[in-house]
Amino acid sequence: MIAAQIEKGSRTRLAIYTGAYHWFNQRRAANKPEMYQGHRTEYSATADEAELRDISEFLRQHVGR
């Protein structure tokens, strides 16, 4: 799916946060990993920080903030 968008000229970037599960940026899930609708959910401070850096960089590049 991403490759098809890139072929069409999209400047798509896929970020993979290794070891992160669903809700990795939800602090309320810290220290309480669980299963939700068949998916493991667990907060990851490392992935959360990386995501915030990626979003901040994207906004600086595209919005100027």
- The first and second tokens of residue 9, run together, are 């000229």
pLDDT of 65 reads 60
What are all long-range contacts of 21-24, with beta carbons under 8 Å and residues at least 24 apart? 24/48, 24/51
- The first and second tokens of residue 58, run together, are 């994207």
- The first and second tokens of residue 4, run together, are 């098809």
pLDDT of 60 reads 93
pLDDT of 11 reads 77
Q: What's the rounded Cα separation, in Å, for the pair 39 and 30? A: 16
pLDDT of 4 reads 83
Q: Which residue ranges of the chain lie beneath pLDDT 70? A: 65
For 2, 14, 42, 60, the CA distances from 10, given in Å and listed in that order, are 9, 12, 31, 19
pLDDT of 1 reads 74
pLDDT of 38 reads 92
